[in-house]
């Protein structure tokens, strides 16, 4: 029998969530104490964490018992909690988790307009607070086609209606308040471009968090590419969806670094299942050391951001 290392004992323990949730919730409490604007984004993050638990449980993202997906999500989201003060950041995070939770239910169902409508309704809500998410729509339709195997005329139309739905209500409200020019201002942001590769616009505290998340993303992606043959086809395709979304997020980050605060939210959601999969299913001495190094680095980054607020 292969020896269980520290990494595996943590990943497979039923007490991991019991420990991680209170400890990292305390970090959010400290962040709220230092900056009350963090409160609403923190509530979004709490709901997102429970949705990530549901996403993992309902789709069997890890083939053994492990809570590493939701724990990894909470840990990555807490790295820069004290600066997580914009409600749109929380909405982007919650919306993307909601999208995956609902979209995955349409797997291999070419006639599932209900799930697709509500999945893209989440994207529509995100677009109200961060209109640039519209640039990701072609990628999400590609994910529907090749990862979820659910693209059809019915589902495509449902996705379009889901995206437009929030704007119908906004149109009614803005018409009553005589503020229809908001639409021109809002969608005009799609034509506002910053300088590509201008990473000087990213604050240092956010840069180190992004670097850590990116390292976790690369590790999780390499693990998926090397070990995907060991998972069932359904799990492979779901992980492929996360990898595709991460790729799109990185490309967008390179082209428009000024959108980093929102890209970070997208990366957290798509990286957590991949790095959680890595933590739970690797058993070598090297990965055990890597697990310990990442944990210590995570603690250091979190404390650094708290200390330098």
Separation between Cα atoms, residue 26 and residue 30, nearest integer Å:
6
Separation between Cα atoms, residue 215 and residue 209, nearest integer Å:
10
What domain range includes position 63? 6-188+197-308
Burial (CB count <10 Å: 0-12, 13-18, 19+), residue 170: middle
Based on its alpha-carbon atoms, the radius of gyration of the chain, rounded to whole angstroms, reads 19
Q: Who has greater pLDDT, 307 or 93?
A: 93
For the cut 80, the answer to whether the pLDDT of residue 131 exceeds it is yes
For the cut 70, the answer to whether the pLDDT of residue 150 exceeds it is yes
Separation between Cα atoms, residue 48 and residue 43, nearest integer Å:
8
Residue 60 lies in a domain: yes
Separation between Cα atoms, residue 38 and residue 86, nearest integer Å:
7
Q: How many domains does the chain have?
A: 1
pTM of the model as a whole: 0.94
At 278 the pLDDT is 95
- Residue 156: closest CA among 125, 123, 120: 120
Crossing angle of helices 68-78 and 260-281, in 10° steps, is: 150
Write the Ramachandran bin of 66: left for phi over 0, alpha for psi from -120 to 50, otherwise beta: beta
At 15 the pLDDT is 86
Q: Which of 17-26, 196-205, 233-242 has the lowest mean pLDDT?
A: 17-26
CB count within 10 Å of CB 299 equals 13
Residue 218 lies in a domain: yes
At 216 the pLDDT is 96
Separation between Cα atoms, residue 260 and residue 268, nearest integer Å:
12
Share of residues in the chain with pLDDT > 90 (%): 71
Residue 88 lies in a domain: yes
At 2 the pLDDT is 59
- Residue 193: closest CA among 132, 274, 250, 272: 132
Residue 247 lies in a domain: yes
At 140 the pLDDT is 98
- Residue 9: closest CA among 268, 293, 274, 292: 292
Write the Ramachandran bin of 108: left for phi over 0, alpha for psi from -120 to 50, otherwise beta: left
Residue 232 lies in a domain: yes
Q: What are 172's two structure tokens? A: 């009614």
Instruction: Give the mean model confidence (pLDDT) for residues 89-109.
Output: 96
Q: Kindly tell me the sign of the dihedral angle through the C-alpha atoms of 264, 265, 267, 268.
A: positive
Residue 1 lies in a domain: no
């Amino acid at each position: 029998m292969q020896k269980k290392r520290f990494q595996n004992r943590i990943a497979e323990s039923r007490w991991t969530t019991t420990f991680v949730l209170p400890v990292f919730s305390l970090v959010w409490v400290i962040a709220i104490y230092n900056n009350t604007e963090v409160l609403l984004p923190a509530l979004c993050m709490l709901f997102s964490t429970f949705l990530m638990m549901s996403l993992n449980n309902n789709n069997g993202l890890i083939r053994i018992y492990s809570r590493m997906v939701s724990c990894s999500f909470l840990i990555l989201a807490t790295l820069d909690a004290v600066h997580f003060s914009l409600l749109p950041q929380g909405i982007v995070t919650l919306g993307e988790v909601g999208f995956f939770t609902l979209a995955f239910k349409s797997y291999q169902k070419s006639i599932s307009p209900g799930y697709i409508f509500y999945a893209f309704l989440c994207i529509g809500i995100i677009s109200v607070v961060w209109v640039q998410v519209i640039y990701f729509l072609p990628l999400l339709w590609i994910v529907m086609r090749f990862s979820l195997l659910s693209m059809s005329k019915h589902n495509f139309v449902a996705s379009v209606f889901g995206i437009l739905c929030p704007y119908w209500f906004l149109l009614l409200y803005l018409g009553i308040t005589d503020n229809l020019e908001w639409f021109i201002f809002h969608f005009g942001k799609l034509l506002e471009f910053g300088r590509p590769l201008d990473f000087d616009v990213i604050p240092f505290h956010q840069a180190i968090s992004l670097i850590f998340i990116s390292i976790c993303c690369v590790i999780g992606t390499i693990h998926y590419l090397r070990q995907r043959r060991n998972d069932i086809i359904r799990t492979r395709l779901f992980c492929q969806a996360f990898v595709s979304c991460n790729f799109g997020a990185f490309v967008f980050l390179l082209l428009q670094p000024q959108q980093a605060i929102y890209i970070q939210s997208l990366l957290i959601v798509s990286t957590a299942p991949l790095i959680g999969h890595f933590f739970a299913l690797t058993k070598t001495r090297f990965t055990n050391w890597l697990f310990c190094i990442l944990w210590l680095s995570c603690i250091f980054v979190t404390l650094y951001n708290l200390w330098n607020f």
